[in-house]
Homo-oligomer: A and B are copies of this chain.
Amino acid sequence: MTVLLATDASAEENHTWLRALSQALPGERFVTSRNAAVDPEIDVAMVANPASGSLAGLPSLRLIQSLWAGVNGLLNDASVPADVPLARMVDPAMADAMAQTALWAVLSLHRGFYTCARDQREHRWGMHEQRRADEVGVTVLGLGQMGSRVARSLVREGYRVAGWSQRARSIDSVHCHVGAAALPSLLAQTQILINLLPLTPATVGLIDMHTLAALPRGASLVNLARGAHVVEADLLAALDSGHLEHAVLDVFAIEPLPVEHAFWDHARVTVLPHFAAQTDPRSAAQVAAANVRALREGRALAHLVDRQRGY
């Protein structure tokens, strides 16, 4: 049997993946394109933003292993066979990278480093209030693998951390809240809001004018999940009115962010090029390989997506 690697990555990146995967699965045959319209040899597809149609007409396909954490693109592609088990990537190096990005954004906001950068451009030696970490309320939306890792990292640095999720969670020293009704009062106590929700029909557009208005004046937003969580026009209005202090955005409705977009030159927006957390082929190949071995040996697959729930 054969493993298909279907990505939109460069040849160099695919080469890195193939090397890591071949080392992790020495007995497997890998291909990066299909030999025929109907290829009965392929039983596993490893995918990262595959072209639509790449996974159609594979009669032996038994596992789709995403190399990305987010699978909303795959779920929205009708050509992806809906009856084949789909696994998300749960890569510890990616969770580490996400925690680093979140910590960097929180430190920057808490300690006024974005303000410093504006001051530097104006040659201004500005003074800034210094608060302790335990005086800053940070709320993490989404307490899955990424969100819970981020919340724990912020607790360790002394922040006052709350979390919000669809299902009840328990994380040491994190005030965990559940469900839509709990959100408004939680937002009212939040200085820094970090979005790490999965993108599902229930969370699209969640961060809109109402959510932003529920934050206290001077709060900030850090979006590390998906662009479609945020209503960009509402975010711009909240920044321009002065209600919101700053936004750190790694993801956007359209990526790459169009060159004419208002976010680029906005003094209160930090634009990151969707790189908060990238999959690390060295560790992710091990995770993907473990699932392929489980498939071959008839054991349970890990990190399977619940297509109804959407993640």
Residues of A that sit less than 8 Å from B by CB: 93, 96-97, 100-101, 103-104, 107-108, 110-113, 116-117, 119-120, 123, 125-128, 130, 132-133, 156-158, 255-257, 259, 264-265, 270-273, 275, 277-278, 280
Contact = CB atoms under 8 A, between A and B. Distances in A.
26 contacts: A96-B132, A100-B107, A100-B111, A100-B133, A101-B111, A103-B107, A104-B107, A104-B108, A104-B111, A112-B275, A113-B272, A116-B270, A116-B273, A117-B117, A119-B273, A120-B271, A123-B259, A123-B265, A125-B255, A125-B256, A126-B273, A127-B273, A127-B275, A128-B275, A130-B275, A156-B156
Q: Which of A97, A125, A132, A255: most chain B CB closer than 10 A?
A: A125
Contacts of A278: 130
B101 A103 contact: no
A276 to B, nearest CB: 9
Contacts of A128: 273, 275
**Interface secondary structure of A, over-half rule:** loop
A243 to B, nearest CB: 23
Nearest to A255: B125
Contacts of A264: 120, 123
A265 B121 CA distance: 7
Contacts of A110: 100
A124 to B, nearest CB: 8
